[in-house]
Amino acid sequence: MFSRVMVCLALAVSLAACADPEKENVLRQHRLDAQSQKLSSILGDATARVSSGEQGLTIQLTFGADADLDLYVTDPLLETVYFANHSGKSGGRISDDVRCDEIQTGESVDQPRIEEVRFDNPMPGLYRIGIDYPTKCKGGEEQAAFAVSVLHNGEQIQKLGSVSFERFDVVVMEFEI
Amino acid sequence: MHKEYPIRLFPLVVLSILLFTPTVASASGFSGLVKSEAEEPIVGAMVTFRFGSPFQERTVFTSEDGRYRVDGLPASTPYTIRVRRIGWHDIRASESTGSDENSLDFKMIRHTDPALVAAQLPANHWYALVLDQITNEHEREQMVRQCTYCHQQGNEATRVQRPVEEWHKVLGLMARMGGGLDAEFSAKVPELFNSAYDPKTAIPQLTRGFDQPEFAPPPNAEVRRAVIDEYELGGRASMQHDMIVHPDGIAYSVDMATDTLFRLDPSVPGGARESFPIPSAALPLGGQDPSGALPANTSMRVGPHSLQVGADGDVWITLAVGNKLARFDTVEKSFIIEDLPGGIYPHTLRIDHKNRVWYTIAVSNHVGMYDSATGQHEVIRVPARSFGEEVMLRMIPVALWLRQYVEFDLSGGGGEGASLPVPYGIDIAPDGGIWFSQLNANRIGHIDPDTFEITMIDTPFTAPRRMRFDSKGKLWIPGFSSNLISSFDIETGEFEHIEIPVEPLGSETPYALNVDLVTDDVWICGTNSDSLIRYQQDTGEFTVYPLPTQVTYTRDIDFSDDGGVWTSNSNAPAWQIETGIPRIIRLDVNGQISAPLVGSNP
């Protein structure tokens, strides 16, 4: 345990010292932005396919196959629906958790995947969307791009961005209905 | 007025009408009889009257002849009433006081569906099914300590079978929140839970003989004299971590998830509540060094954790994730925030006879001291168990800084919660010595309050958590994962253990205890069993007081001068608590605390 910590520390210090963080950050951000845009366009298509979306509230998260991202939706009762709490008292329910092990053999890492929380009769009030990045899949990096869509009564809003590995972004978006 | 609620349960529609259709009159109590369909008295049923908004609930027990009596209810107020006894359908009804003496009788119906009976059992019954499958002591230790660190597995939200992959994600999230398991055991956990919580086997095991009188026996006559008041406090995102009773009789509670100090005046019918947002100094969500895994509904920026009253009446609060202390002037109702010179995660505090604040610092393995009279701060490093641990602890601040640039996992594989020693409980001995525990290191320590010299002592049991001295200078320590309390003689260095007799044996997780310095009774959090537990030193007897609300996870205990035993329900997340909102709780052992009453609460 101790030696492992020391090796990690030494490696981490070296990396921190040698890197050109500013340049790398700019390049990384460009790459993530491009991925988010691509995910957004796919999400737009996917959202359009939501069968009952016009009457309820549908929140979709899409991300690439190189990461396992998790969608968290906190409802006006302050209960959170996510992969481990499949439904809430206000009616929210999550689609199947999309994990690394869900990736089919041969599937491209560019293949986007979608998690969805759906409320058929959404309660009025404040909703919060959070996104976590708990697991890297094959080819996964320190940050992962995402696109989030909120569809309510025919109106859609989107948010694009990225999350860092093992850093839960608790408030990606808040909105009221 | 005499009413009897009929043998059949209310249809939902009728019940809804009853719940929201008050009649108004003036009186101060109810009495009546709770019996079975066969007209036999039901002993030990909990009869709960809820009133006000936010509500207060007052619960009494039925006696040997099935009778109950509740006094001290405010007048002119509608009530919702619940009658509860394990093995029977809950009765829910609505009433209002209508005369000086109202009579309400109830008939209960036995459950015939064992699944419904199993669902009524406190979490420790279910947890025992998991523990029964573990033969390795180290693994059992991890399971108890880490998997009930912050919440019970108290209802269907947690007692579910999950796909193995989902379990692994749950465990990963738990590790990032500080409750890590080693890799070998982690791999076994999904099967353990899925097997233990399989309804096909769990329900028959839990409900064997549930239609027999021996099943879930009623509490004894002494317990049945008690009156329990619960005050709803905060909201569904709240986490009322600790509460105290001020010498002026006011209860204060810190809501860690919303950065709020609550004030509750129990002398007002229903309890008068005030809330005070704690200044967060523009810190980000999660505080100074946000954890990688916060609760999704949190608004925590400073994270008030524990509180105590100083000699001047001010309330001192540790701000765990803000890494500060707060001082609340109870007269001016204002805060002063004190920055701390070092350490990470100020945790539990006590105040010595010189009005100095002593507090454990959980993550960085320190104990802190602040003397507000002189401005002196001390951050005292607690000895590590090994050179490697010493280096690791000293590197934590560096690691936290580096984490913004590169991936860095101090846990060595998801076991961080188990590997950090975690200074935890703390108390001041009658001689002024400072004593504290290290939860994960199985040690207690002594600090000389003048020289700050530290002496460490291994505990012969696991997970010493929140401990207290009695009036004679004996230190009482709960073993969170060892189902015991232990007394420690600071003169001879001898421990004496006493197993907690909560059934099923070995299933309790005593998070904290406190000693009533008037009686020297030791009161223990029945954290896994929805109970408060009294140990009487003079007789050596335990008494288990069941609490009325399912998923009552308690972390500390305090006393009021009138004999009340107080605690708070701080299960995290709150929405898993029955009704979804935390409460602070007063147990009146003999039912003799004069009620605040009888006011008008239209």
Q: What is the pLDDT of residues B538-567, one digit of tens each?
A: 999 999 999 999 999 999 999 999 999 999
Q: Select from B236, B408, B575 the Cβ nearest to the Cβ of A12.
A: B408
Q: Do A78 and B292 touch (CB under 8 A)?
A: no
Mutate to test the interface with A, among B147, B159, B283, B392 (most CBs of A within 10 A): B392
CA distance B299 to chain A (A): 9
Distance CA B240, CA B257 (A): 8
One-letter amino acid of A87 = S
- Contact of A128 with chain B, judged by CB distance below 8 Å, is answered with yes
pLDDT: which is higher, A72 or B2: A72
Q: Report which of B558, B339, B345 is spatially closest to residue B439, judged by C-alpha positions.
A: B345
CB–CB of B405 and A78 under 8 A?
Answer: no
Give the gap in angstroms from C-alpha A38 to the nearest C-alpha of chain B. Answer: 26
User: First and final CA of chain B: distance in angstroms?
Assistant: 21
- Yes or no, beta carbons of B172 and A101 under 8 Å apart: no
> How many percent of chain A have pLDDT more than 70?
77
Instruction: Please tell me the distance from the alpha carbon of residue B552 to that of residue B151, in angstroms, as a whole number.
Output: 9
CA proximity to A79, closest of B581, B172, B161: B581
pLDDT of residue B414: 36
**Residue A89 to residue B169, Cβ atoms within 8 A:** no
Is B236 close to A168, i.e. CB distance below 8 A? no
Residue of B nearest to A8 (CA): B408
Interface contact A170-B285, CB threshold 8 A: yes
How far is Cα B19 from Cα B91, in angstroms, rounded to an integer?
12
pTM for this entry: 0.90
Contacts of B185-188 spanning 24+ positions with Cβ under 8 A: B185/B136, B185/B138, B185/B139, B185/B142, B185/B143, B186/B414, B188/B139
Q: Which residues of A touch B299 (CB under 8 A)?
A: none
CA distance A133 to A161: 13
Mean pLDDT of A81-96: 93
Q: Searching chain A, which residue's CA lies closest to the CA of residue B295?
A: A170
Q: Alpha carbon of B138 to those of A53, B143, B171, B174, B461: distances in Å?
A: 50, 9, 17, 19, 12
> Are B580 and A89 within 8 A, CB to CB?
yes
Instruction: Give the per-residue pLDDT at A29.
Output: 86
| pLDDT for B326 | 98
Examine the pLDDT at B256 and tell me if it is beyond 50. yes
**Cβ B419–A1 below 8 Å, yes or no?**
yes
A90 interfacial to chain B (CB closer than 8 Å): no
Closest chain B residue to A126 measured between Cα atoms?
B297
What is the average pLDDT across B277-292?
88
A143 at interface of B, judged by CB pairs closer than 8 A: no
Confidence of residue A14 (pLDDT cuts 50, 70, 90): low
User: Which residues of chain B lie closer than 8 angstroms to A4, CB-CB?
Assistant: 412
Residue A100 corresponds to which tokens in the numbers above? 């690394």
Q: What is the reported pLDDT for B11?
A: 36
Q: Which of B235, B296, B419 sits opposite A80 (nearest CB)?
A: B296
A90 with A77: CB under 8 angstroms? yes
Q: Do B575 and A16 touch (CB under 8 A)?
A: no
- The answer to whether residue A45 scores a pLDDT higher than 70 is no
Tokens of B560: 């009021």
pLDDT of residue B392: 76
Nearest CA in chain B to A68: B169
Q: Which residues of A touch B176 (CB under 8 A)?
A: 134, 166, 168
Average pLDDT of the residues in A49-76 = 85
Residues in chain B closer than 8 A to A6 (CB atoms): 391
* Chain A residues within an 8 Å CB radius of B292: 166-168
CB-CB neighbors (< 8 A) of A70 in chain B: 169
A18 in contact with chain B, both atoms CB, cutoff 8 A: no
Residues of B in contact with A130 (CB under 8 A): 296
CA distances from B574 to A177, B176, B236 (A): 24, 20, 6
pLDDT tens digits, B146-170: 999 899 998 888 899 999 999 999 9
Which residues of A fall within a CB distance of 8 Å from B170?
84
Does residue A16 sit at the B interface (CB-CB below 8 Å)? yes
What tokens were used for A142?
Answer: 């320190």
Among B162, B293, B412, the residue with its CB nearest the CB of A5 is B412
pLDDT at B401: 60
Measured CA to CA, the distance from residue B244 to residue B578 in angstroms comes to 23
Q: Is A10 on the interface with B (CB under 8 A)?
A: no
Chain A residue with minimum CA distance to B403 = A12
How close B450 gets to chain A, by Cα (Å)? 34
Q: What is the pLDDT, as a whole number, of residue A46?
A: 60
Q: Do A99 and B165 touch (CB under 8 A)?
A: yes
Residues of B in contact with A20 (CB under 8 A): none
Segment B363-420, tens digit of pLDDT: 999 999 999 999 999 999 999 888 878 877 777 776 666 555 544 444 433 343 447 8
**pLDDT greater at residue B291 or residue B32:** B32
A-B Cβ pairs (cutoff 8 Å, strict): 111
> For residue B183, which residues of chain A lie inside 8 Å, CB to CB?
none
Backbone phi, psi, residue A34, to 5°: -65, -40
Residue positions counted in chain B: 602
Q: In the structure encoding, which two tokens stand for residue B201, read together?
A: 């086997």
Task: For chain B, say whether A6 makes contact (Cβ under 8 Å).
Answer: yes
- In this prediction, residues B68-76 reach a mean pLDDT of 87
Quick one: pLDDT at residue B416?
37
Q: How far is A19 from chain B (nearest CA, A)?
A: 10
What is the ipTM for the molecules in this complex?
A: 0.85
Confidence band for A1, pLDDT divided at 50, 70 and 90 = very low
pLDDT of residue B102: 84
Nearest to A79 among B236, B298, B392 (CB): B236
B14 band by pLDDT with thresholds 50, 70 and 90: very low
Tokens of B69: 């009596």
The partner residue sitting opposite A12, judged by closest CB among B165, B169, B402, is B402
B296:A128 CB<8 A: yes
- Which of B172, B235, B410 faces A5 most closely, judged by CB atoms? B410
In the predicted structure, residue B279 carries a pLDDT above the cut 90: yes
Of B292, B298, B402, which has the smallest distance from its Cβ to A167's Cβ? Answer: B292
Give the Cα separation of B517 and B559 in Å (integer). 9
Residue-wise DSSP of B369-428: EEETTTTEEEEEEPPPSSHHHHHHHHHHHHHHHHTTTS---TTTTT-HHHHS--EEEEEE
Taking CA–CA distances from A74, the nearest residue in chain B reads B297
